[in-house]
Structure 1
């Protein structure tokens, strides 16, 4: 059986990402986590997915891990609060749910 190098690279990359996801402690925010947040100032819920910068699309809720919110959420668990500085103030969010 012959597999071209590009296909092999894609297959190996998929396995590496799966292994990384399986090794992540459950309940903690990581890349690919879907996170439900409570905006503590507005008392509104929203759901975002933490993604790589290349996959980022804030209009659809895909937030880059390198964005202020994405970076602040990394490794958080349900119940924790994150504060994001915005124009001399700060936005506060409580983590309500972490899923995949």
Structure 2
């Protein structure tokens, strides 16, 4: 059974752009670097050649990884999700019941989550505890700083896909 990866339209496009760059530019650049390094003679002691081959391996590995993720992507338009309950793509405003601090996160897929920029993975402990919740619900979640209790203050759909 194929495990689907939830992904926003923007996140899907970002991965497609990276794949395109790797296939059309980086792969070609590293092949040229390998050819130049081969021209420098003995390959057994040619650091430039070995570095280029290592970079080629990293590029090819990332290409395979991106193709796999894109083939399993379940693309979700975050502007079209409801705002009655917390689901993938919604923006949720939380009140930390321990500190009275309000925080806002958008729930996205693991490839897109970036806490510093206001998004968390639906697969993270906090993300999992929020799924299906409504305004007024309280959740207890394990965070990097320990167990925290939050109240859902607001749920909205995203302005970007």
Question: TM-score with structure 1 length normalisation?
Answer: 0.72
Q: 2:76 aligns with which of 10, 17, 21?
A: 17
Query: What is the CA–CA distance in structure 1 between the aligned matches of 2:101 and 2:143, rounded to whole Å?
Result: 18
Count of residues paired in the alignment: 86
Does residue 54 (structure 1) correspond to residue 104 (structure 2)? The answer is no
Query: What is the CA–CA distance in structure 2 between the aligned matches of 1:51 and 1:41, rounded to whole Å?
Result: 25
RMSD, aligned α-carbons? 2.9
Q: 1:83 aligns with which of 140, 154, 160?
A: 140
Could you list the per-position Cα deviations for residues 11-67 of structure 1 after superposition, in whole angstroms to 9, with x for gaps in the alignment? xx89x734x975x66410001100000000000101000001111111111100000
> Which is higher, the Rg of structure 1 or of structure 2?
2
How many angstroms does 1:84 deviate by?
1.2
Query: What is the CA–CA distance in structure 2 between the aligned matches of 1:21 and 1:44, rounded to whole Å?
Result: 27
Query: What is the CA–CA distance in structure 2 between the aligned matches of 1:40 and 1:90, rounded to whole Å?
Result: 11
Question: TM-score with structure 2 length normalisation?
Answer: 0.46
Which blocks of at least 5 consecutive residues in structure 2 are unaligned?
1-72
Which blocks of at least 5 consecutive residues in structure 1 are unaligned?
1-12
